[in-house]
C-alpha cells in the first residue's frame, strides 16, 4: 500500500511539473498600464414589431437578442466604454413621420455598470418601425469626442422602413467625417435584400456583415466585435493578386484587402530572409448567396512550384467568412563570411477557394479577401515548428500528448502491479 501511494504521488508530481512547464512556457502578459484612450462601442438594437417573430431556436428574435446582450455584457473588457441605443422601441402607432424618429440611447457610452445595463435591456419589448438611418446617425453622435477607436454594432432583422433616408448613404456620410468609426452589422433573417443593405452599410465604413440564425452565434459574434474594438486599428491596404506566381505583387508585413472570384486562384509574393519566419493568414467572406460546403486553401510554394506548407479550412452555409493561415520559418544561413549579405527567398502565396453558387448569383466583383502578412525573427530552433499551422499551439499539443502517454503508461503499470499484489494475497 505504501509503494502504491508513493507511485501515485509520483505520477501527480510529474503531471503537476509538466503543467507548470506549460504555464511558464506561455508568454507573460505585460504589466505596464496602457495610456491609450479607452475604445468606445455602441450596440444598436432593433426593437421593431417584427422582433416578436419566433424563429431563433424556438424563441422570439428579441428574446435571443436579450440573452445575447446579457452574455456580451458579462464579457465586456474593462477598458472598453460601452453604450446601447435602440430603434423602434417606443412608438407603436402608424404615423410614419413619428415612427421614423423612434430611436434613443438606452444606456450612455462610458464605464459599464453591468447590472444597470442588463436591467435596461430587460425592459425592452418589440414595438414599432425600423429607422436604421436615424439610429446610425444618433449612434455616431453618441460616440463623438476623443481619439479612441469607435465601433457601432447594429443588430436588426429587417430593412430600414424610413426611406428616403438611405442607411447606406448615412454610413457613407459617417465615414466621410473622418472620425475612424467602424459599423458592423448582424442580420437575424437570411434575406437577400437585407443582406445587401447591411453589407453596404458595413463596407462603407470598413466593417463586416454577418448573418446569424442562432442565439449562440449572435452572442459569439457580438463578443468578438466588442473585443476587436480594444485592438489597435490597422488600415488595410488594397492590393490585387495575380493569376500566377511570376506576376504576383510583392507584399510586405501588413494587412491587405483584395477580391477573389469563385473558383479562381490569387497569387501574392513575400521575400523571406534566412532566420526569418513568414506568418500569413487569410479570410474570405461569403458576401452573396453561395451553396453549402466550401473551403479556403492558402499555400506557400517556391518560385519553382514546390509546396512548402499549407493551411486549409472549410465551412457550411451558416458561415459568412472562412479563415486559415500558415507559418514558414526559414533556417539561418550557414555562412562564415559575414560580409556577404544573405539572399532573400521569394515565397509565393496561393489563395484558392472551393465556393460555388447558383447560376443567378453574380460572380463579379469577387468575394472580399482580408490577408495578413507578418515577417518576424524565426524561432531559435526551427524544428520546434515542424508542424505548421495557426500560431504556436502545435508544440503545446505535442507536449500534452506526451504527458498523457507517460501518465497512461504509469497508471497502467500501477494497475498491473495492484492486480499482481492482489493475486499473491
Residue identified by cell 472562412 is 322
Supply the pLDDT for residue 29: 39
CATH of domain 237-333+342-393: 2.60.120.380
pLDDT score at 249: 96
Q: Which residues pair with 210 in a beta bridge?
A: 186
d(CA 128, CA 55): 19
For 262-290, what is the mean pLDDT? Answer: 90
Summarised one tens digit per residue, pLDDT across range 379-401 is: 655 444 433 443 344 455 566 66
Considering the chain, tell me which residue range(s) the CATH 3.40.50.410 domain(s) occupy.
Answer: 40-229
Q: How confident is the model at residue 19 (pLDDT cuts 50, 70, 90)?
A: very low
Cis ω on the peptide bond leading into residue 365 (within 30° of 0)? yes
Residue of higher predicted confidence among 363 and 36: 363
CB 238 within 8 A of CB 206: no
pLDDT in tens, 27-68: 443 344 445 688 999 999 999 999 999 989 999 999 999 999
Q: How far apart are CA 174 and CA 201, in angstroms?
A: 10
Give me the mean pLDDT over the 361-374 stretch. Answer: 88
CATH number 3.40.50.410 is the correct assignment for the domain at 40-229: yes
Query: How far apart, in Å, are the Cα atoms of 94 and each of 97, 124, 125, 127, 128?
Result: 9, 20, 17, 11, 9
Between 312 and 410, the more confident residue is: 312
Q: Which residue has the higher pLDDT, 144 or 333?
A: 144
**pLDDT attached to residue 114:** 94
- Residue 194 to residue 347: CA distance in whole angstroms: 41
The three cell numbers locating residue 183: 459599423
C-alpha cell at 37: 484612450
What pLDDT does 4 receive?
42
Residue 56 contacts residue 214 (beta carbons within 8 Å): yes
- What's the chain look like in SS3? CHHHHHHHHHHHHHHHHHHHHHHHHCCCCCCCCCCCCCCEEEEEEECCHHHHCEEECCEEHHHHHHHHHHHHHHHCCCCCEEEEEEECCCCCCCCHHHHCCCEEEEEEEECCCHHHHHHHHHCCCCCCCCCHHHHHHHHHHHCCCCCCCEEEEEEECCCCCCCCCCHHHHHHHHHHCCCCEEEEEEECCCCHHHHHHHHHHHHHCCCCEEECCCHHHHHHHHHHHHHHHCCCCCCCEECCCECCCCCCCECCCEEEEEEECCCCCEEEEEEECCCEEEEEEEEEECCCCCCCCEEEEEEEECCCCCEEEEEEEEECCCCCEEEEEEEEECCCCCCCCCCCCCCCEEEEEEEEECCCCCCCCCCCCCEEEEEEEEEEECCCCHHHHCCCCCCCHHHHHHHHHHHHHHHHHHHHHHHHHHHHHHHHC
Q: Are 291 and 312 in contact (CB under 8 A)?
A: no
> Residue 232: is its pLDDT beyond 70?
no
| Grid cell at residue 105 | 440611447
Mean of pLDDT over the chain: 82
Q: What is the distance between the alpha carbons of residues 151 and 146, in angstroms, rounded to a whole number?
A: 13
Mean pLDDT of 164-174: 88
pLDDT of residue 179: 75
Is pLDDT of 109 > 60?
yes
User: Which residues make up the CATH 2.60.120.380 domain(s) of the chain?
Assistant: 237-333+342-393
Scanning the structure block, which residue is given the C-alpha cell 459599423?
Answer: 183
pLDDT value at 206 more than 90: no
Nearest Cα neighbor of 199 from 154, 233, 161 is 154
More confident call, 11 vs 283: 283
Amino acid at each position: 500500500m505504501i509503494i502504491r501511494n508513493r507511485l501515485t504521488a509520483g505520477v501527480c508530481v510529474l503531471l503537476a511539473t509538466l503543467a507548470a512547464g506549460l504555464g511558464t512556457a506561455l508568454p507573460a502578459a505585460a504589466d505596464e498600464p496602457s495610456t491609450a484612450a479607452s475604445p468606445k462601442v455602441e450596440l444598436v438594437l432593433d426593437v421593431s414589431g417584427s422582433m416578436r417573430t419566433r424563429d431563433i431556436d424556438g424563441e422570439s428574435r428579441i428574446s435571443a437578442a436579450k440573452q445575447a446582450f446579457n452574455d456580451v455584457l458579462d464579457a465586456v473588457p474593462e477598458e472598453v466604454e460601452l453604450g446601447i441605443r435602440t430603434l423602434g422601441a417606443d412608438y407603436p402607432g402608424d404615423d410614419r413621420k413619428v415612427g421614423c424618429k423612434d430611436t434613443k440611447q438606452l444606456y450612455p457610452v462610458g464605464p459599464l455598470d453591468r447590472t444597470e445595463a442588463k436591467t435596461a435591456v430587460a425592459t425592452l419589448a418589440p414595438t414599432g418601425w425600423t429607422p436604421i438611418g436615424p439610429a446610425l446617425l444618433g449612434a455616431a453622435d453618441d460616440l463623438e469626442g476623443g481619439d479612441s477607436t469607435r465601433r457601432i454594432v447594429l443588430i436588426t432583422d429587417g430593412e430600414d422602413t424610413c426611406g428616403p433616408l438611405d442607411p447606406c448613404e448615412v454610413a457613407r456620410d459617417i465615414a466621410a467625417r473622418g472620425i475612424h468609426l467602424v459599423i458592423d452589422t448582424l442580420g437575424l433573417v437570411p434575406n437577400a435584400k437585407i443582406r445587401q443593405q447591411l453589407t453596404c452599410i458595413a463596407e462603407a465604413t470598413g466593417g463586416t456583415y454577418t448573418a446569424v440564425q442562432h442565439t449562440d452565434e449572435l452572442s459569439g459574434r457580438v463578443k468578438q466585435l466588442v473585443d476587436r474594438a480594444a485592438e489597435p486599428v490597422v488600415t488595410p491596404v488594397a492590393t490585387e493578386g495575380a493569376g500566377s506566381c511570376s506576376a504576383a505583387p510583392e507584399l510586405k508585413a501588413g494587412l491587405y484587402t483584395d477580391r477573389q472570384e469563385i473558383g479562381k486562384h490569387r497569387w501574392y509574393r513575400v521575400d523571406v530572409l534566412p532566420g526569418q519566419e513568414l506568418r500569413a493568414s487569410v479570410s474570405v467572406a461569403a458576401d452573396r448567396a453561395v451553396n453549402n460546403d466550401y473551403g479556403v486553401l492558402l499555400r506557400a510554394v517556391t518560385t519553382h512550384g514546390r509546396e512548402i506548407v499549407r493551411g486549409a479550412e472549410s465551412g457550411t452555409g451558416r458561415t459568412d467568412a472562412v479563415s486559415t493561415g500558415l507559418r514558414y520559418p526559414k533556417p539561418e544561413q550557414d555562412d562564415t563570411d559575414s560580409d556577404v549579405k544573405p539572399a532573400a527567398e521569394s515565397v509565393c502565396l496561393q489563395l484558392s477557394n472551393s465556393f460555388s453558387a447558383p447560376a443567378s448569383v453574380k460572380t463579379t466583383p469577387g468575394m472580399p479577401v482580408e490577408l495578413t502578412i507578418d515577417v518576424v525573427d524565426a524561432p531559435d530552433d526551427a524544428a520546434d515548428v515542424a508542424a505548421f499551422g495557426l500560431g504556436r499551439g502545435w508544440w503545446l499539443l505535442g507536449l500534452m500528448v506526451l504527458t498523457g502517454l507517460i501518465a497512461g503508461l504509469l497508471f497502467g503499470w500501477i494497475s498491473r502491479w495492484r492486480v499482481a499484489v492482489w493475486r499473491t494475497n
